Structure 1
Amino acid sequence: MEAFKHNQSAKGPSLFLLSEWESRYDRLNTGFTGRQGGVSEGHFSSLNMGLHVKDQDAAVISNRRLLTDAIGWPFEAWTCAEQVHGNRVWQVTEADKGKGRNSLDDVLRDCDAIMTNVPGVLLTSFYADCVPLYFYDPEHDAVALAHAGWKGTVQQIAVETVRAMEQAYGTDPKALVAAIGPSIGGCCYEVDGPVIEQVQALLTGLSLTQEEVESMLKQSEDGKANLDLKEINRQIMIKAGILPIRIELTEWCTGCRRDLFFSHRKEGGLTGRMASWIGIRER
């Protein structure tokens, strides 16, 4: 069953909600945006969430406000990172709340994962094919987001995020629930030699069977391969100690469904960005 339920109202932003999580944990709010229902124009039409893609800043900020209004959060809660395709994790404190919401000038620098146990902080991250990873520790009311392109995946950003939550909040990986959101699927993501070599090295270290490796890295005779980043990140989450039954895995592919999502690869790099979000509501 698909975990991310599409919710498109007549006038509001296109949202993909982790409805089961929200019904199970009453203070948790989390999901992923689509590409429709915003105010951006041209290549960024219409719900572009990224300030870094040369869209009009005013349009992006308006789109971000559309999201916070739709989910019932104050815009001042919006907090985001720079994202540099690494594996650094930033612990978001009360003092970080709101950074990056209006400008790149105060965005959280040089990190691709952010975590917090501060109620009222809305963590956000940006995508146009890369894999959004969600983490929630219900025992300590701590949440995290991680941005995993192929580079972050090879650097095992999911493992780094779990370790950071263990150190900061006392998180037990077995108590975590996790989710892997809409991103490019193995059906659409073709890579070449240098990427294949690094992914092969990663998969070797995960102690997988040859059949499992071949299902995630389907090589062709021309020296290229189709890469299933979503399943690879699921395996990395399992390596980090998260129980398989507590990991939600989406079937949405950003490459196949360009009517619903932006796709950097399928649109030649000139496109908008979706946002993931997660936060614990204040009491």
Structure 2
Amino acid sequence: MKTNIYVNNEKFITGMTLKDGAEPESNNMAIHACENPTNVVENRKKLAASLHCGLETFVCSNQTHSANFHRVTLDDKGRGAERMDTAIADTDALYTYEPNLLLCSFTADCVPVIFYNEVNGLIGVIHSGWQGTVKEITSKLFKHLTQVEHCSPRDIHVQIGAALSQEKFEVDEDVYLKFKDLGYADDFMYYNDQTRKYHIDNQQTVKKQCELAGIPTEQITIDQTCTYMSPDGFSYRQDKHSGRHLSFIMKKCD
């Protein structure tokens, strides 16, 4: 099973599963976008085994391209792990202080954001497609963590996972204007005269949102893999029936 492990130390393990032709449905991890849910559950069980945890530790949400987030508690353990109807509803970001819970986010071309706070042990995942980016889900969550959870953004480390590259992210003027209205994304867009399309770097826009929230630039890492161009990537833009990667983080036992 192909998995990109970003961090694996005494406190945290974070990573992102990859497309893998040797696995059922090429290692698809999403029940909401699969041919057979049994295949997805088997793939998740293999991932759990590789991470030395059980499927019951997974916490999944029903992602709707919203700006909604949820603080995960032990009562949420196992939600969405085997069935969609138990997933946390209408939510695109999860965070928790609890150890031994695997927070999950599902993406094809969208931007996955994985983060942890080294000081207080807070962890989280964010699903930020272009709709989530223009709704500023990342900005809103980090503002909440600063104001309500009293986290210092200077203690937060961010991993931005593989996503659709700027070269392959072509949009019309309506989407371009939504990014322009943010007021800080101009450097991450260009216009192609030949195709009359705009190209947007969603990863860099999300990185800017992290920086504006006070997270030090040197604590933000970007996986440059393009989900469209890489053979390891699921791309909805390339294949409307694509599976999904699973980006994850777990805080290890205190």
Q: Under a length normalisation based on structure 1, what TM-score does the superposition of the two structures give?
A: 0.86
Secondary structure of the 1:145 match is strand
Secondary structure of the 2:84 match is coil
Contact 1:14 1:37 in 2 (8 A): no
Summarize the Cα distance change of 1:77–1:168 in structure 2 as closer, same or farther, 3 Å threshold. farther
Instruction: Tell me, in whole angstroms, the C-alpha distance in 1 between the residues paired with 2:238 and 2:180.
Output: 24
Instruction: Tell me, in whole angstroms, the C-alpha distance in 1 between the residues paired with 2:123 and 2:37.
Output: 28
Q: Which residue of 2 aligns with 1:236?
A: 209
Contact 1:162 1:173 in 2 (8 A): yes
Contact 2:158 2:219 in 1 (8 A): yes
Q: Which residue of 2 aligns with 1:14?
A: 2
What do the CA deviations read for 1:15-57 (whole angstroms, capped 9, x no partner)? 0111xx324xx120110000116642xxxx3100000014201
Q: Which residue of 2 aligns with 1:142?
A: 122
Residue 36 (str. 1) matches residue 51 (str. 2): no
Offset at 1:196?
A: 0.7
Instruction: Tell me, in whole angstroms, the C-alpha distance in 1 between the residues paired with 2:102 and 2:155.
Output: 22
Instruction: Tell me, in whole angstroms, the C-alpha distance in 2 between the residues paired with 1:93 and 1:165.
Output: 16
Contact 1:144 1:161 in 2 (8 A): no
Secondary structure of the 2:132 match is helix
Q: Which residue of 2 aligns with 1:253?
A: 226
Q: Under a length normalisation based on structure 2, what TM-score does the superposition of the two structures give?
A: 0.95
Q: Which residue of 2 aligns with 1:5?
A: none
Q: What's the RMSD between the two structures over aligned residues?
A: 1.4
Residue 152 (str. 1) matches residue 132 (str. 2): yes
Q: Which residue of 2 aligns with 1:65?
A: 45
Aligned partner letter, 1:120: N
Offset at 1:71?
A: 1.4
Summarize the Cα distance change of 1:27–1:84 in structure 2 as closer, same or farther, 3 Å threshold. same
Please, which moves more after superposition, 160-169 or 102-111?
Answer: 160-169
Contact 2:34 2:243 in 1 (8 A): no
Contact 1:84 1:110 in 2 (8 A): yes
What do the CA deviations read for 1:193-252 (whole angstroms, capped 9, x no partner)? 1101101111x2x3x7xxxx24x1111235411111011111111011111111011111
Count how many residue pairs are aligned between Structure 1 and Structure 2. 253
Instruction: Tell me, in whole angstroms, the C-alpha distance in 1 between the residues paired with 2:47 and 2:148.
Output: 29
Q: How does 1:101-140 map to 2 (within 5 A)?
A: 101-140=81-120
Structure 2 regions of 5+ residues with no counterpart? none
Q: How does 1:201-220 map to 2 (within 5 A)?
A: 201-202=181-182, 204=183, 206=184, 213-214=186-187, 216-220=188-192
Contact 2:30 2:40 in 1 (8 A): yes
What do the CA deviations read for 1:98-122 (whole angstroms, capped 9, x no partner)? 1000101110011100000011111
Structure 1 regions of 5+ residues with no counterpart? 1-12
Instruction: Tell me, in whole angstroms, the C-alpha distance in 2 between the residues paired with 1:62 and 1:189.
Output: 32
